Structure formats: structure tokens, C-alpha cells
Amino acid sequence: MTSSFLSFEDKGYKDFISRLKQENEKLNAFNFIDENDKSGKIISVKDNICVKGMPATASSKILQGYIPGFNATVIERLEKAGFSVIGKTNMDEFGFGSFGLNSEHYARNPFNEEYITGGSSSGSAVATALIKGHVSIAESTGGSISAPASFCGVVGLTPTYGVISRYGLIDYASSLDKIGFMGKSVDNIREVMEKTIGGDPKDTTSLSVTISNKKPNKLYVIDNLMTGVNEVIKDRFEDLLAKLSAKGYKIEHTKIDYLEYSVPAYYIISMSEASTNLAKYQGFKYGFKVKDFSLNYNEFFMSARKQFGKEAKRRVILGTFIRSKSITQRYYEKALAIRHALIARMDKILKEGFIIMPSMPIFTPKISEVKDISPVEAYSMDMLTVPPNLCGFPHMSFPYFYEKGMPIGAQIITNHFNDYSLLDFLSEWESDFKYKFKEEIS
């Protein structure tokens, strides 16, 4: 499905904003909407990516009032290419969540407001679904693009780790965070990605490499990843495989050792890095300020960090425990070894073909069904999205079926630096499959 960007060279921006604000009151897609006149192609940006002059809160009370005086590299490059940022999208606090419910005013699913959006890039998925010809700049650590893209029926592309500069991103886990894109059209996503890739001296993890498009005709299904998937999702996925087989793809089943350890390894690494990255929020430099300087050291910092939400506190505490001297060898170093082993095993398969799987193991649940589940149950929902994120492989979620009016997404993975092959695959898929969206704002 080819789509052009919504542009305001000769359209009424204020009328568009008025209608967008009305929808936002119901769906909470945006934390901030810029009402100043815009020209050019419009994009939205996840609220943990810095845009000069706009709030950057990462949906956390501790960053309320923080307005960066600089652009993230990805924003700087897009603005030079003629794009305009219309606002900052809602998210799980600091990116901590799979369902999109870890923020004060969580986003709601555009297909049905009683259902979750998925996280952590929840608002980006909703904004993409709402706005005609739109791309939202999002971010993924362990599935934060694929999960909401799947639950909200849009396309979510997570590039190879390092090909998009992370400068200006509010960190969750530095060795895992990847800036990516959500859209409804392969052409739009491709255009944005082409404008943003490339090395950046401001980010030591960014890479200046050639991105290839070697599209194989083989699709691998990882059988030991499918064991925890809902049976009806499995049936729908088999239907998808049959369609792809009819298009000429060869389907092969295989197994990858150690995959059962990918989720615990991911959370050990990500929580350890999160506890380090969040240490800078001390109540006097960014956002929330502690004004009582008569407090002693512990009281001062505790009064600031009370602003963290429940999930943020949980991850900081667990991450600090994992990094303690007596524990780090037992957990953290083993988690790094598992990541290294998984990269080698997945790389071997990805040299021969794509890996394909459902994006999420369950149907989109209602908010009431997941609001009180345990953290361990919530973390287990990342079983399909964690492996490519843990290993830095590019991957993409795309809608392929609608069950009782709600979308279902599949996820396709390719080898490092072969990102454009995913877009070529999507281009083929879009030529046959008709996406369903709610009435779009234009």
C-alpha cells in the first residue's frame, strides 16, 4: 500500500490539530502536541527522544518540566530533510513495559478503547494509526516497537543496533536501545530511514555501514519459540505461512538452543543498565527539582526518586542488586554469555533466510485483563520480541490478520545490516494484503 506523507504546505494545520486533540482526549496518544503552524511532512516522536523546545519526559514525573535545548541526531537529520515534528508520543515510563500501561495516563487502542496498545512505544503506534500518511519515530529495547505495532495494526521497523544514532535518546539500556519507525506504508518508512542512517561522532555506538537488501526466499520457523503461543494465534500464523509459501517462499522448521534463557538474560542486562542510566535523576539537574536543601544526603535523593513509578523503582532496585559485587558473576556475566551464544546461533540461520514468527504470543487483551497481572507474567509476554532485540538483529512487525476486529501481527527478522530486505519483503506483502485502519485524520 503506497502512501504519501501528510503535509501542510497548503493545508490547514490548525483544523488538523483541533481534530487531533479531540482524538487525543480519548486515546492519549500524545504527551505534547505542538500547536504552532507547521510546513512540510509531519512526524511524531516518542517522548524519550529529544526535540529542541519540546518537553521530553519519557512519561515520568521525575522529568516533568524538562525541555531540551538541542535535537537528537535523528531529529536534526529529519528536520534538515524537510520533516516537522508535531508532538511527543506517550509511552511506558522510561520504556519499562510490554502493555503500555506504565504511565500516568496510558494510551488506548485505536481499534477499541477497552484494549491495550502494547508498549513501550504505545503512543507512537496510536499516532501512526490515527494520522493519514504518518511515520512516528519510536524506540525499542526488548520489543517496544513490535509489540504496539502488532496490537495497533501498524508496521514497526526496529533497525540493526547502531545504524541509527542514539544521541539525544533518554537511555533505558544502552547496549539494547534502538531508535526505529512506525508507519502504515513501506515507502514512508523507507524514506525516513534513508534520511537517518549513518555514523555520528556524538554517539560512540553508531556505525557508518552500507545497509543491504539481500532478500532470501527461505523462511525459518523456530519451533521452540512457538511452544508458548496461543493456539488460535498458531493457527492464524500457519495460514500466513501458507500464503507466503504460495508466493514462492520455502518454509523450514528448526530449533535454536538457549532461547528459553533469552528473556531472563534480557531482563538481567536491561535492568542492570537501567539502574545505572537512571542514577542521574537526582532532583537538581533534570526535570523535577528538590527545593529543600536542608535535607540530608539520603533524604534529598529519596524525595526526588519518589517520583519514579512502581515499575521504574522495581527495575532500579533489581538492577542495582544484580550489579552488586557478590552477584554480578552469578547473573550478569552469564546473561552476557547467553547473548553472545544466541547471536552466533541466530546469525548462522539468518545467513540462509529470514526468521518469521508471530509478533506477540497472545491476542490483544483488554486493559482490565492485564492491569493486575504479576511482573513475571508481564515480562514473559516478550518471549518473541526479546531474541532479536537482545542480539541487535533488525526486525519488523506487520499486520497480517484481523480477529474479531482486532489486528494480529507477524514479525520477520534478518541478519545485521540487511535492514532494507525487510522493507522489500513488506513491499511484496502490501501489494496483496489490505490493511484496515480506523478513520484517519488528515
Q: Is 120 one of the catalytic residues?
A: yes
Q: How many helices (H) and strands (E) in the chain? A: 14, 11
Dihedral angle computed from the Cα positions of residues 253, 257, 261 and 265, in that order, rounded to the nearest 10 degrees = -110
Q: How many CA atoms lie within 13 A of 327 on its CB side?
A: 10
Q: Is 421 one of the catalytic residues?
A: no
- Residue 322 contacts residue 381 (beta carbons within 8 Å): no
Rounded CA separation 168/156 (Å): 21
Active-site residue, selected from the candidate residues 3, 44, 98, 120? 120
Q: Please report which helix (H) or strand (E) contains residue 253, including its range.
A: strand 250-254
- Residue 43 contacts residue 193 (beta carbons within 8 Å): no
Closest to 116 (Cα-Cα) out of 411, 435, 312, 368: 368
Tell whether omega for the bond before 144 is within 30 degrees of 0, i.e. cis.
no
Residues in the chain: 442
Contacts of 396 (CB under 8 A, 6+ apart): 146, 155, 156, 157, 158, 411, 412, 422, 423, 425, 426
Active-site residue, selected from the candidate residues 60, 103, 140, 144? 144
Beta bridge pairs of residue 32: 88
Residue at grid coordinates 530486505 = 421
Closest to 177 (Cα-Cα) out of 206, 209, 148, 202: 206
Rounded CA separation 301/295 (Å): 9
Q: Is 84 one of the catalytic residues?
A: no
- Residue 333 contacts residue 272 (beta carbons within 8 Å): no
Rounded CA separation 139/136 (Å): 10
Active-site residue, selected from the candidate residues 3, 38, 44, 46? 46
CA dihedral sign, ordered 190, 194, 197, 202: negative
Residues annotated as catalytic are 46, 120, 144
